[in-house]
A and B are shown apart, each in its own frame.
Chain A
Amino acid sequence: MSCHRRFLARLGWLLLVAVAARLTQPAEVRAEATPEYKIKAVYLLNIARFVKWPTNAFAAADSPLVVCILGENPFDNELQKLMSGRVVGGRTVVVKQEATAAAAKLCQVVFIPASEQANLRLHLATLRTAPVLTIGETPEFLDEGGVIEFFVQQNKVRFDINKAQADAAGVQLDSQLLSLANRVRETPEKRGEH
């Protein structure tokens, strides 16, 4: 019986060591994006296909289409995996993470996650005049001058569009994209004012 016990004990240790080894494997330590962000990542790809940027948005004719995440990255590796290397509108996509809005001015798509809520007004003020498609997920995003705002309704990701701001930035949105939006704001007035 004691031999039996010893065997079990050894097996237990082996198991613990195996678990520890497995859990600490550096190559694998990357979090999984939540289903919501996996869906949002695919939205970004789909939306980008319906947008035309002014030529001055790119440094050269063969410049890549740069998709940026401003601040903390809620997609983990998903956005990178999905979009990097794809060709959208004749340009190869590059995914970047930027810490400041000033740096993000050089991107064509800027996703501002909910974690940047505190800095949202500043970020959007910086990006307002740049030929950038800004996409956010906080309720005041359009009011503060963002272009596309994600929200979740009945478990599904939906979006509103601030067309006035898109026009101001010189970013052209396809009518198909506008038709899929929940609401399209044509004039620059604020939501609460009418």
Chain B
Amino acid sequence: MDGALKMPFPGVSTVVAAATPLKICLLILAWFITAGIAHSQTNEIETDKLAALSFKDLMEVQIPTVYGASKHEQSLTEAPSDVTIVTADEIKKSGCRTLKEILNSVTGFYTTSDGAYDYVGTRGFNRPGDYGGRILITIDGHRMNDDIFGSAAIGLESLLDVDLIERVEIIRGPGSSLYGNNAVLAVINIITRRGRDFDGGEVSGTYGSYDTYTGRFSYGNRSTNGLEYALSGSFLGSAGNDGVYYPEFAGINHGYADQYGASRVPSAFTSISYKEVSLEGGFVQHREIIPAAYADVFDDSRGTVMDERAFADLKWQHRFDGDWELTTRIYYDHYRFDGDYPLSQYAYGDPLYPGSLRLNEDRDGQESLGSEVQISKTLLQQHRVTVGTDYHHDFVLDQRNLDAGGPTYLNAQDTEDTVGAYVQDEYAILHNLIFNAGARYDWFSSFGDTLNPRVALIWSPCTNSTFKAIYGQAFRAPNAYELYYVTPGYDSSQHLKPETIHSYELDYDQVINPHWKLATSLFYYEADDLISFGLDSNGNSTFGNLASATSQGGEIELEGHWAKGWRAQLSYTYADARDGATGQRLSNSPEHLAKLNLTAPLWQEKVFANFEILGMSDRTTIQGNEVGSYWVANFTLYSREIVKGVELSAGIYNLFGKKYSDPVGSDFAEESVPQYGRSFRLKLTCRF
């Protein structure tokens, strides 16, 4: 026991040893734990508050649940996965600006940035250059990963303004048995705020570092005839950060890039429902100057990326007599990517004219239609069976690469079809023992078929303890970029197979007392046929199913809640992820992650302070060099209802201005890119 406990600690202390603020923070935590601020417990559901409701209102109170783990609502303890829920309230109190920041606070998750995009990883996997396709993100069940790169957008290019989030469900482990492609490491389902959650209008504005300002207007309501709607539009503009130092480019503008990350991001989202029919749709267009990414010319503001994502999803849900439920939906997806990269002329073999530049352009587009039918029925009282099928058709899947006013290197126009069918049975063997088994079959026109099962045994020996044993298989299909992006020096890689992962997981959750909750898990992952960039027999670069990897480790999370909004969360993750062939640690895979999050009510239940520390041990780059460990602290003050209908928040991010770098993919000249320093944001929201 002693040895097992001691092992991870030296690593953690080296992550944070140099930090005096850490001591302060540990002291605060010690005080939290020992000071006995034990009032009656708080949770969102309080019997005293419920008792004040009328009987009719009481009947409308919902039990907190997760939707995404089984594609129907169920309690967290019954889900066949280790689930974390982040609520709108927590997001406000911790001052999260993007989905990236929300995920960064979640036990076991970490995000990295290459200066253009952000990538989320967990359980040892976040390989640079993979575009984050091993995590599936859905908005109210609608798949958001695009079909060109398979990316899960979590940064500014993410479609949903975080203010529109009701809750985020983070469902760890393999989800391909229900969702198919991309649901390898986790499924992140975002539940949006509905009309009734707005109940009127809302205006919000922020101002922050790098001349970043945002504005949002939302309106939502539910009328007595059953019509419910929410409409929202947002805009973000940023002048960019010229304070990030690139030592590799010290010779150009002293290593600083002007307008680094300057962006313009309009977005819109709406949901409308009437009785059993609902329509939901959204749009985002993200333009950003990337003077330090994907190009060999530094500090040139012509280096830009543009992502455009839109969707519409029409759903009909009906409950038939005899307890069976039908859900059908049809949807449309749109994705466009424009990349402009200033390249020096000699990059394609003419070193005599290093001064002349050309602007190389990527122009990619995806248009898709799809449908899904799902039936769920309770059988023989102990079984809940869910069967479903979906069809997805990319009628446009274009990738072009050309020089502005010059030759075209790539003009690939493809289409793709995907058909999936899944079944899941939740069998309540005893009242406290559930067996959950499911499998999904997928057929892709690009490579063929794949079958992915998941089984879970969920045992609650008493109301406070839950054990889960989960085995699952999941896959990531080769994306259009990996399949069809063939320019000079690249080879076609249309023989690609999907990556598969086999995972074994044991979870143990314990409610210790009214205030403390403990969640632990152990995992072992085996990944085969990882799609990697390498050389083929002709000496050309190509994608192949070249690598394998294993990852093993554990997560432990301690969470405390007290009256008036006191909250403390401490978590630690150990992950040992290694390449199957070389035994070397995977790149961009920290062995240790440590997180601390404290919320304190400062005045009544109206002003809150939130303090957060995120620590990560060292990582390696794709060349095998080390990127140092780091920790960052964030501090947010949040107030509500001091003036009726007004919310104010002020946050400082990377409070101590920690300098650190993240490893990046092979399409960068450098191995790692430096990250933003200290920044701030002020926010005002008014409801009317």
Q: Do A and B come from one complex?
A: yes
> Which A residues fall within an 8 A CB radius of B?
4-5, 7-8, 11-12, 14-15, 18-19, 21-23, 25, 28-39, 41-43, 45-46, 74, 76, 78, 81-82, 114-115, 117, 138-140, 152, 154-158, 176, 180
Asked whether A31 lies within 8 Å of B59 as measured between CB atoms, the reply is: no
Among A4, A12, A39, A155, the residue within 8 A (CB) of B73 is A155
Asked whether A15 lies within 8 Å of B26 as measured between CB atoms, the reply is: yes
Bound state CA distance, A76 and B511, in angstroms? 12
Bound state CA distance, A173 and B77, in angstroms? 35
Cβ of B512 < 8 Å from any Cβ of A?
yes
Residues of A within 8 A of B318 (CB): none
Total residues of chain B contacting the partner, CB 8 A: 47
Known: A31-B511, A180-B59. A38 touches B30 (CB 8 A): no
Cβ of B225 < 8 Å from any Cβ of A?
no
Please give me the residue from chain B that is nearest to A29 by CB atom. B513
Residues of B within 8 A of A115 (CB): 431-432
Known: A12-B9, A41-B47, A82-B47. A32 touches B41 (CB 8 A): yes
Residues of A within 8 A of B450 (CB): none
10 A-B pairs besides A155-B73, A180-B55 with CB distance below 8 A are: A4-B17, A15-B30, A19-B33, A29-B512, A31-B462, A31-B464, A34-B75, A39-B63, A46-B55, A157-B61
Residues of A within 8 A of B46 (CB): 38
Please give me the residue from chain A that is nearest to B14 by CB atom. A5
Bound state CA distance, A82 and B40, in angstroms? 13
Please give me the residue from chain A that is nearest to B518 by CB atom. A23
Cβ of B657 < 8 Å from any Cβ of A?
no
Residues of B within 8 A of A155 (CB): 62-63, 65, 73
Total of A-B residue pairs, C-beta within 8 Å: 117
Please give me the residue from chain B that is nearest to A82 by CB atom. B47
Asked whether B50 lies within 8 Å of A42 as measured between CB atoms, the reply is: yes
> Within the complex, what minimum Cβ distance (angstroms) separates B299 from chain A?
39
Asked whether B516 lies within 8 Å of A35 as measured between CB atoms, the reply is: no
> Within the complex, what minimum Cβ distance (angstroms) separates A159 from chain B?
9
Asked whether B47 lies within 8 Å of A38 as measured between CB atoms, the reply is: yes
Bound state CA distance, A46 and B58, in angstroms? 9
Residues of B within 8 A of A29 (CB): 512-513
Contact with A along B509-526 (1 / 0, CB 8 A): 001111110000000000
Bound state CA distance, A107 and B38, in angstroms? 34
Residues of A within 8 A of B41 (CB): 32
Asked whether A35 lies within 8 Å of B45 as measured between CB atoms, the reply is: yes
Cβ of B534 < 8 Å from any Cβ of A?
no
Asked whether A76 lies within 8 Å of B463 as measured between CB atoms, the reply is: yes
Bound state CA distance, A36 and B56, in angstroms? 17
Cβ of B29 < 8 Å from any Cβ of A?
yes
Asked whether B29 lies within 8 Å of A15 as measured between CB atoms, the reply is: yes
Bound state CA distance, A180 and B33, in angstroms? 44
Please give me the residue from chain B that is nearest to A33 by CB atom. B463
Residues of A within 8 A of B23 (CB): 7-8, 11
